[in-house]
Amino acid sequence: MPEGDRLIEPFCGSAAVFLNTNYKDSLICDTNSDLINLYHHLQKDNIEFINYCKKYFITSNNTPEKYYEFRERFNKTKSKRLRAALFLYLNKHGYNGLCRYNKSGKFNVPVGKYKKVTLPRERMEIFASKTVNAEFLLSDYTTTMRNAKKGDVIYCDPPYVPLNESNSSFQYEKNAFSMEKQAHLAILAQETANRGIPVLISNHLTDYTREIYKKAELSEFSVQRNISCKADKRTKALEVLALYTHDL
């Protein structure tokens, strides 16, 4: 990661980069309102919210029946606090940790098969402790990046370009992140870098990403991908880091 005063993540997801870096300030954004709502509760209520979540992570709730009951409650509730807690429950008990919604905006990930699921208390406490100088914002990547200023460093982790047809149906949100948006993000990254704000993008390494990131400095590597439902298909995939700086 380049040096700077403030980290910006337009596609924060699990906010892993935020958790593993030490920038003076952080702006953590996403278009998933449930994710941002969860982070707001961890930031605002801290231990109180973590304790509130504990009741959902008991052995009797680790069943398909309870999972679908809580999924239905999640899709119907108007309580932001309950929705945040159930979003965490669904993430930990759902199939492969997926986050997916149908066309009506309803969470529709099927139940996973886990012998034991526990509240990730320690990780939640660590996350809450890191939020002192962070702002969590419901915002799209275009708005987020255009509002960046000198001194900021941007890390983009968009929904990845599919490697093949079998995994292209796994969408992060009800609205797919199209190939056109992938190309637009690359253009916006170069425009942002030209304003003196470095941008780092991660993605699958394909002929398409090689082409749209051709103006960036590329670093290629392989990682284990476990999204496939077939164990024999869970092999290593090539990924790329595309770094845009003003002098490229």
Answer yes or no: are the C-beta atoms of 92 and 56 closer than 8 Å: no
CATH homologous superfamily of 6-31+139-244 = Vaccinia Virus protein VP39 (3.40.50.150)
pLDDT tens-place string over residues 85-115? 999 999 999 999 999 999 999 999 999 999 9
Query: What residues have CB less than 8 Å from 104, skipping those under 6 apart?
Result: 174
Is the pLDDT at 238 greater than 80? The verdict is: yes
Domain ranges of the chain: 6-31+139-244, 36-124
CATH homologous superfamily of 36-124 = Adenine-specific Methyltransferase, Domain 2 (1.10.1020.10)
Is the pLDDT at 173 greater than 50? The verdict is: no
Residue 222: which of 209, 233, 238 has the closest Cα? Answer: 238
Answer yes or no: are the C-beta atoms of 134 and 21 closer than 8 Å: no
Is the pLDDT at 156 greater than 60? The verdict is: yes
Question: What is the pLDDT confidence band of residue 167, given thresholds at 50, 70 and 90?
Answer: very low
